Amino acid sequence: MAPARAAVIGLDGAAWHLLDPMIERGVMPRLAALRDRGASGTLHSTVPTYTPPAWTAAATGVNPGRHGIYGFIAGNAQSERHELVHSGRIKAATIWEMANAQGARAGIYNLPLTYPPRRLDGWMVSGMMTPGYGERLTGFAYPGELEARILRRAPGYVVDVSANWEQDWRDTALCDRVVASLEQRLEVLDELLAGDPPPVVFSVLEAPDRLQHVYYRYMDPADTLYGTPAAVAARPEVERCFAAMDDIVGLLDDYAGSGGGVIVCSDHGFTAWEMSVHTNALLEQWGYLKVKPRARAMQTRAARSLVPIAKRFLPAKVARRAKGATFSAIDWSKTRAFASPIPLQGVFVNLEGRERLGVVPPAELEDLKDAITARFEALSGPDGDPITDRVHRSEDVFHGDALDGAPDLMPVLRDHRFELDDELFFRRPFTDQRHLPRGVHHPEGIVVVSGPGVQISRDLTGSVMDVTPTLLHMAGLQVPEGLDGSVLTDAFTAGALESRPISSAGALSSRATEESSPYSQEEEAAIEESLRGLGYL
């Protein structure tokens, strides 16, 4: 029997408490209609709550300890080489491999970390982490002849809208860029779906994430900045962007049709960014990290004041070298723990035999993790109140054969509103961000499941790892055994599950082998500059 059409509509960073007010005002009628006739609720993200591990978990059905993607860059402050992650580093079987193995073609659109695009039965247009723009954009689609078609339909096609959280909140120019890109996406997806219709489609729109990093506190009705003149002026422009996203939701819903299935989901949610937590400053204060004496000059107030200026105006290549030089100021021979890169939201133990300059004997690892955990659990914020909700240990949240690169500890502070960084410029551990409207990631994202056999409810819960199994089931395909995620059975009526029970297939291994970096130095610098603009580096 031919597979039914089933589509994922990924809204990066979407959260119900931000969408609901817009739905009530009629901004997103197609999303509202999908929710009204389907099962909806909360989709929980990965640890860490960031795009690379979360979307890769959604597209593989397994945790980061098996797919191997933890952040945007492989390595940490001690690594000699910091390589941007890419599709060749994914170590688990993907949704398109699972579909293809059962004779079903797949269309993959704008999914992060699909550059370089993979060979598949179907088509793929790569997403975030794709180099180039406009006339310089090449190598972003498979099969290759798709590129000319896309650029004819959408000249100057933009793969990923860039945003700068340090500057873009000052006006609404970002909204113009977002709307322009969404109009392109609507044109391109319309052509792809009409001209080459595969039964399985996995698409992602990055726009919610970019807007919420910049304007979050203008969008959240519970926030103190929501009623300010700046927020009142910005919201109509932000809502114009979400209306354009809704057009794409409608396109994909129409594509699936009455006999097909649709999953709307996000990789994570969002919350207000209240405080930057300078993890290395804490570790230095607690005696776990040592800075060379000559580096003390960079920890003065005057030197710190240059950091945002440098981030804003230095070329990415220069900024990258400057940060590398900063890490060289750490006295690694006396350092027992250090901060992870920002997207990993954690702490690495300077473990002997694992880290290049490791000094902590393996026999002391667990005691050291206990000690650092206790320090975080006793930590108070600037207001004097405790700030640590929990401290995840890597062995509690990751399992598999791709554990290299996982932090040892991942603290969660004030429901993710206190975000950890890896800066060395600060003697004091906290910088207040509450005067700005910006947002950060939260683990509670959204999910809507709609289609034949789906029951109407608003209390569905699941994990991002459940997306691929549910998509396969809705397409009438088998779900490989051994995935960490599972079909969201609570979305379906008992009768539907009885008449078409979940069918299992043997475990599937990825056909991909780990590849060297596809990026030139110039491309790396451009992508890193974009990541820096979002506060990820």
The whole-angstrom separation of Cα 92 and Cα 510 is: 5
Query: Domain check: are 46 and 177 in the same one?
Result: yes
- pLDDT grade, residue 316 (50/70/90)? very low
Burial letters for 425-448: b for 16+ Cβ neighbours within 10 Å, e otherwise?
bbeebbeebeebbbbbbbbbbbbb
Query: Domain check: are 30 and 141 in the same one?
Result: yes
Query: Domain check: are 326 and 387 in the same one?
Result: yes
Q: What CATH number has the domain bearing residue 501?
A: 3.40.720.10
Query: Domain check: are 108 and 83 in the same one?
Result: yes
316-327 vs 521-533: helix crossing angle, rounded to 10: 80
Query: Domain check: are 146 and 245 in the same one?
Result: yes
The phi, psi pair for 84, rounded to 5°, reads -60, 140
Query: Domain check: are 290 and 233 in the same one?
Result: no
- pLDDT grade, residue 301 (50/70/90)? low
Q: What is the pLDDT of residues 385-431, one digit of tens each?
A: 999 999 999 999 999 999 999 999 999 999 999 999 999 989 899 99
Domain limit, last residue, from 403, 432, 461: 432
Query: Domain check: are 186 and 285 in the same one?
Result: no
pLDDT at position 134, please?
A: 54
Give, for 224, the enclosing helix (H) or strand (E).
Answer: none
Query: Domain check: are 55 and 90 in the same one?
Result: yes
Query: Domain check: are 307 and 280 in the same one?
Result: yes
Q: What is the pLDDT of residues 254-288, one digit of tens each?
A: 999 999 999 999 999 999 999 999 999 999 999 99
Residue 1 maps to a domain: no
Domain limit, last residue, from 415, 432, 449: 432
Residue 71 maps to a domain: yes
**Has residue 31 got a pLDDT over 50?**
yes
- pLDDT grade, residue 306 (50/70/90)? very low
Query: Domain check: are 323 and 362 in the same one?
Result: yes
Domain limit, last residue, from 379, 408, 432: 432
Query: Domain check: are 377 and 467 in the same one?
Result: no
Query: Domain check: are 426 and 503 in the same one?
Result: no
The whole-angstrom separation of Cα 536 and Cα 521 is: 19
Residue 12 maps to a domain: yes
Closest CA to 234 of 217, 248, 213, 246: 217
**Has residue 312 got a pLDDT over 50?**
no
**Count of domains forming the chain:** 2
Residue 425 maps to a domain: yes
Which domain does 227 fall in, by range? 6-271+441-533
Residue 210 maps to a domain: yes
